[in-house]
Amino acid sequence: MRIVINGIGIAGPALAHWLAKSGHDVLLVEAAPSLRTAGYVVDFWGIGYDIVERMGLIDEIRALGYQVREVRIVDRNGRKKGGFDVDVFRRMTRGRFTTVRRSDISATMYRAIQGEVETIFGDSVASIDDHGDGVRVGFDHAAEREVDLVVGADGLHSRVRPLVFGPESDVETSLGYHVVAFEAGGHRPRDELVFVSHSLPGRQISRFSMRDDRTLFLFIFRDEYMDSATEEPKAVVSRVFRGAGWEWPKIEAELERATDIYFDRVSQIRMRRWTRGRTALVGDAAACVSLMAGEGTGLAIAEAYVLAGELHACRGDFATAFGRYEQRLMPFLAKKQQSATKFAASFAPKTPLGVQFRNQVTQLMRLPFVADLVIGRALRDDIVLPQYRLPSR
């Protein structure tokens, strides 16, 4: 089949990988002018990890990743107030866990299919005319094409989704936070392999020291701190974290210099169907679990694998394949969303006492039964994926 995939993030290249290996004719379209190289880091484990291993790419991804040792929570004077040894995650995942730049996972998967898949950067699917026997796809720049299927792998704010399934406002559920992330070079101090966070009521700043003397900064704050939806990220962060103590003056100076800033609502996409006619959604476009799940990347890869696997197993009967794709994964994703929503409720407590209590709980994570109680359910993937007979490399 001729299949257009909109978006080269995580789900897009993962799906293109399996579809191309199965002999489909794939066109990947990405709005950005090239693959992104920076961005935030993600924790990576679970079914997504297993699938990337099947793709033959896990060693490469682990080599690019960080084996984080500690999550450390500090007060306004930099004194340790909470946190835990990340060995607890490694124990629970039997060492199948790494922390890696989202863009490195994306680039690794893309590199593995480069040359086998046609790619257009700096463009987007702009119209979808499903006429039953096929789909006429329009783009912002490229000429129209007649294809068999269209897949929206274009993230939380998908453009394919509203073209076929209706407005974003109908399917987006806010978890009550905003997030800002950016990288800086040469920042001091550094703490190798330690994720350091400073929590304030309703707000949290974190920094993570990366290779090549880069540091990632991550800010999460409750929606109450937003003045207006149109405020610029630099202005928001400066206002929300003013007087935060710890390393704030230095971090604010890095923020001033930053040129590539990620800024968004923390929300989920909850849909009744991920497919309609000849269009399917995958990854965040279909079922964003949000950063509160800490697993969106792996889940996007799993969705891509199942969609490609079902298309392969159903031998061109895309309607049956789409139905099975939804049946297999929708209940599982709904549970992941529920557990992320619960976690979000306690993520940034609103009062100093709440922050203190949360910090103490994190220190108890060294006890296996507490760790299991707090994150066990979120870490477990209660699903067995079919072993599709998909060629891997």
Q: What is the DSSP letter of 170?
A: G
Q: How far is CA 196 from CA 82, 137, 229, 301, in A?
A: 10, 46, 28, 28
Coil, strand or helix at 179: strand
Report CA torsion sign: 44, 54, 302, 153. positive
Closest of 303, 302, 293 to residue 378, by C-alpha: 293
Closest of 135, 155, 177 to residue 276, by C-alpha: 135
Whichever of 104 and 243 has its CB closer to ligand FAD, that residue is 104
> Which tokens is 10 given?
């995580």
The radius of gyration computed from the CA coordinates of the chain, to the nearest angstrom, equals: 21
Segment interacting with ligand FAD, rule: CB under 6 A, options 2-10, 331-339, 354-362, 384-392: 2-10
Of 11, 68, 269, 340, the residue at the interface with ligand FAD (CB under 6 A) is: 11
Is residue 307 a contact point for ligand FAD (CB under 6 A)?
A: no
Q: Is 385 left (phi over 0), alpha (psi -120 to 50) or beta?
A: beta
Q: How far is CA 264 from CA 176, 226, 231, 375, in A?
A: 11, 12, 12, 25
Is residue 373 within 8 A of residue 343, CB to CB? The reply is no
Give the separation between CA 159 and CA 7, rounded to whole angstroms: 10
Is residue 7 a contact point for ligand FAD (CB under 6 A)?
A: yes
**Please, what is the minimum distance in Å from the beta carbon of residue 154 to ligand FAD?**
4
**Please, what is the minimum distance in Å from the beta carbon of residue 333 to ligand FAD?**
11
> Which tokens is 82 given?
């909470």
Is residue 294 a contact point for ligand FAD (CB under 6 A)?
A: yes
x/- track of binding to ligand FAD for residues 147-166 (CB under 6 A): ------xxx---x-------
Of 50, 104, 183, 295, the residue at the interface with ligand FAD (CB under 6 A) is: 295
Of 98, 297, 339, 362, the residue at the interface with ligand FAD (CB under 6 A) is: 297
Is residue 124 a contact point for ligand FAD (CB under 6 A)?
A: yes
Of 8, 55, 74, 236, the residue at the interface with ligand FAD (CB under 6 A) is: 8
Binding positions for ligand FAD, 79-118, rule CB under 6 A: 102
Segment interacting with ligand FAD, rule: CB under 6 A, options 9-17, 56-64, 185-193, 235-243: 9-17
User: Which stretches within 93-208 are classed as H helix?
Assistant: 102-111, 160-164
Give the separation between CA 212 and CA 199, rounded to whole angstroms: 27
**Please, what is the minimum distance in Å from the beta carbon of residue 35 to ligand FAD?**
8
Whichever of 33 and 243 has its CB closer to ligand FAD, that residue is 33
Is residue 284 a contact point for ligand FAD (CB under 6 A)?
A: yes
Segment interacting with ligand FAD, rule: CB under 6 A, options 42-50, 63-71, 227-235, 374-382: 42-50
Residues in touch with ligand FAD (CB under 6 A)? 6-12, 29-32, 40, 42-44, 102, 124, 153-155, 159, 179, 181, 283-285, 291, 294-298, 300
